[in-house]
A and B are shown apart, each in its own frame.
Chain A
Amino acid sequence: MSQASSTLRSYAFRSEREPHWLELEELVERVSKKGVSVLSASELARLPVLYRSALSSLSVARSISLDKNLVEYLESLCARSYLCVYGNKRHLREALSSFFVISLPRAVRELKWPLLISAGCMLLGLITAYLLVSQDSDFFYTFVPNEYAGGRTPAASTEFLRSALYDNDHDASHLSEFAGFLFSHNARIGMMAFALGFVFGIPVIYLMFTNGLTLGAFLALYGDRDLGLELWAWLLPHGVTELFAVILCGAGGLALANALVFPGRHRRLQNLAIGGRVAGTAVLGAVIMLFIAGLIEGVFRQTVTSVPWRWAVVAATSTFWLYYFVWVGRGGQHE
């Protein structure tokens, strides 16, 4: 038996398939250097075919060949072409439209419960601070850091408080700067709120609650001077968008914590990955919302002081977001 001279089966197998492997290797090499666009249409059509045939070669080689270099080569060739074929290579426009039309509103709807909890925490903070400050205005200093208040404290005159709402002595360049600052500041806080979900969500709840406290303290202060409605008109044009985005970031963090603490039917890590991606999509949406809110706050609010107009923007933004998150992307194809 074992006549060395008889051609090895694995050797025959290799000489038969080798040209295809080399062809695939050459394609993959070019794609990994310069991207898929360097391939012609026929080469592009050939890539998955060659990839599958290389996979089948690998399966065969594993069961019939003891040539280590060959099996390792095929494994690495398959892995490289796998990365080529399954790498993230969607067209940007397509990816964007699917993000805005399908993934984002769907992710937000999936976060229904975390959203309610996150909003609840904020509301709780708001009510607490409102009640306490209404009873004893000294509590205001506990809830609102000095540098944040900017003089708007119980000690300030009603006139000063009113002027803060209608102050429009900014020139245009200051406005864009202000908007840019607001956006990057808020977006950072939002992303942080999401990422803190990884430490079981307790900092997230704390952040939401303290946010509510600050808001409630201001409401109580302005309400005390009969400026409540005007404060809302000042706050809500951007606030609808901004508060929703902040609550959404918090919800993302809570969803993350939830996936970590209660893994449900999957293993913990797997569940974290599933929950994390949904929450992350929502948070990316929130960052975009914060950008819009920054524009409204930095430019619109500082230039338009007419109260009816402010309410009109409130109505428009809240209708839009409500429609967008409740109705857009329902049905349609599931990915």
Chain B
Amino acid sequence: MNSPLSLGREKASKLRRPLLTPEGVKLNLELAHRGDRAGAFAVDSAIIGLALVLMSLLGSLIWSDPDAGYARTVMQLFFFLLLNFYFMLFELKWSGVTPGKRVFGMRVIDRGGGQLTADAIVVRNFMRQVEVFIPLSVILAPEMLWPGATGWAKAVAILWALGCMLLPLFNKDHLRIGDLVAGTTVVLSPKTVLMPDLEATRQVRGSYNIGGMTPAQQEASPATNKKGYIFAAEHLSHYGVYELQVLEDFLRKDEEIGRYEAVETISGKIQRKIGWKPPAGHKVNHSRFLQDFYSAQRALLEEKMLFGKKREDKFSPKQ
């Protein structure tokens, strides 16, 4: 992994974090982005705010005298529960998801790979006191918390409060204090669609008629057989896994615009690089060439991998 290309790949996987399941298989999960987490928090806060307003309106409708003791008690408890236990209750009930997190497709998991336990959820949400409530009151109303504070003391307190609030910006795992203390982290809910195997599409393709040859000609041609183009060992010794998967990505894309030109360019490049020549008088069907090359290259690399020789990319030494 010391080629120039691998640098780019590492960058792409910077947000991936390994997670060891209790069965001992390592899974790679993608950390939630900071912006998404802030967004989810904003959505949840908006829901809380809305609920508070609605409850107040409802209260003034139900009780003719909203200042009566019992009405105020109910309201007070409701406000308290909503402000302090909203996140906790949702995360307990929906196993690590709140409405805001659901909107952004994220969830809380145990950092060590174990079960997300109730105590972890409780702790990560208690810490919101130092992350949200205290910093907000320090910044908005420092007199309430600490009457008669001098100017520099206020400045220090505000800096400290901001530090607590913005901790996710300062660590590469995007952890907030609650995550640190509870041993949790927030990841994107994974979702990949299983696409048909390229090998399967190749095998079911209807006609074997390649490049306008009759079946007899095809059979006789050294460069093709009944199933398509064939490659010799020296043709397949140029590329590694990375290039193979780039080709896979390309073949799986189904955009139409400029497709034909792209296929032709890539096919031509590969042919030049591996030194493969079509039989004389044969016009190459570029799309099929790519499919067949992909298949042959994959077969070879997979076979070598079974023997423990994985060739990362074209810069790796030939085996």
Contacts and interface: CB of A to CB of B under 8 A. Distances in A.
A70 interface: yes
B266 interface: no
Given A80-B189, A88-B96, A198 B127 contact: yes
Contacts of A2: 231, 233, 236, 296, 299-300, 303
Interface in A35-70: 52, 55, 58-59, 63-70
B302 A64 contact: yes
Contacts of B193: 73
B316 interface: no
Nearest to B297: A2
A73 B296 CA distance: 23
Given A76-B190, A174-B69, A273 B76 contact: no
A21 to B, nearest CB: 7
B183 A270 contact: yes
B252 interface: yes
A279 interface: yes
Interface residues of A, number: 83
Contact of A280 (B114, B130, B181, B230): B181
A97 interface: no
Contacts, number: 241
A72 B28 CA distance: 9
**Would you call the interface of chain A mostly helix, strand, loop, or mixed?**
helix
A176 B119 contact: no
A166 B136 CA distance: 39
B127 A195 contact: yes
A177 B117 contact: no
Interface stretch (B37-45, B221-229, B268-276, B278-286): B221-229
Interface stretch (A120-128, A185-193, A313-321): A185-193
B133 interface: yes
A234 interface: no
Contacts of B249: 68
Interface residues of B, number: 87
Contacts of A100: none
Nearest to A184: B80
A116 interface: no
B96 A87 contact: yes
B121 interface: yes
A9 B304 CA distance: 12
A2 B301 CA distance: 9
A8 B295 contact: yes
Contacts of A256: 181
A4 B297 CA distance: 8
B59 to A, nearest CB: 13
Contacts of B29: 79
- Residue of A70, A88, A176 with most partner-chain B CB within 10 A: A88
B180 A88 contact: no
Given A177-B69, A184-B76, A273-B182, 18 more contacts: A2-B299, A4-B295, A10-B302, A11-B199, A11-B200, A63-B306, A67-B197, A68-B249, A73-B195, A171-B69, A179-B73, A180-B73, A180-B80, A191-B84, A195-B177, A198-B127, A279-B123, A284-B122
20 contacts: A3-B296, A4-B292, A4-B299, A18-B194, A21-B194, A55-B21, A72-B192, A83-B189, A89-B95, A177-B69, A184-B79, A188-B133, A191-B84, A195-B134, A198-B180, A273-B112, A276-B180, A276-B183, A280-B181, A284-B119
Interface of B: 19, 21-23, 25, 27-29, 68-70, 72-73, 76-77, 79-80, 84, 92, 95-96, 107, 109-112, 114-123, 126-130, 133-134, 160, 164, 177, 180-183, 189-195, 197-200, 225-231, 233, 236, 241, 244-245, 248-249, 252, 292, 295-296, 298-303, 305-306
